[in-house]
Amino acid sequence: MAAVSVASYAILGMQAAMLLTMLYGVHLARARRRMRRHGAVMTGLAVLNVATVAAVMAPTFYGLDPAPGPSSPSIILVHHYLGLMALAITAVVAFPWALRGANEGNCPGAGRRGRLIMRATFAIWVASLLLGIGAFFSL
């Protein structure tokens, strides 16, 4: 078993809290129709996610020993690339919205195509999270 830092455990807890907050953001959009608040919550989560990836996840990933161990390298790579894909899509949707004034008219997630992009991003992020949790506990 590889040595796992305290920061890695903290990030794992943060990611679980981020999932709950993300579900709250979905609730804001779907049930409450609070689109501006939804966008603010999701943009804040995107910033927090980028920070956690840059501060802990990326250094841990690039510092892993490629020697065979209990965690399959393919699971870690799939987690890595799904996470990068989710971050990239989020950056394309959330950050331009925030930079253009954070109002409903500027939302790139509006309409059928926008909702499809948001749902796909959510699914990719959750898949990456679950794979990351699996890889974390198998290290």
Does 96 or 46 have the greater pLDDT score?
Answer: 46
3-state secondary structure 98-122: HHCCCCHHHCCCCHHHHHHHHHHHH
Domain containing 98: what range?
6-138
Q: For the chain, how many structural domains are there in total?
A: 1
Residue 1 lies in a domain: no
The answer to whether 86 touches 24, Cβ cutoff 8 Å, is no
Give pLDDT tens digits for 128-138: 999 988 888 87
Residue 134 lies in a domain: yes
- Considering Cα of 14, then 20, then 25, then 26, what sign does the dihedral take? positive
State residue 85's pLDDT score: 94
Give pLDDT tens digits for 38-55: 888 888 888 898 898 888
CA dist 58 to 6, 24, 84, 97, 136, Å? Answer: 15, 27, 10, 26, 14
pLDDT range class, residue 106, cuts 50, 70, 90: low
Q: How many angstroms separate the CA atoms of 90 and 62, rounded?
A: 23
Residue 104 lies in a domain: yes
Residue 90 lies in a domain: yes
DSSP letter assigned to residue 19: H
Give pLDDT tens digits for 12-71: 899 899 999 999 988 998 887 787 888 888 888 888 988 988 887 877 777 765 454 555
Token readout for 96 is 């331009």
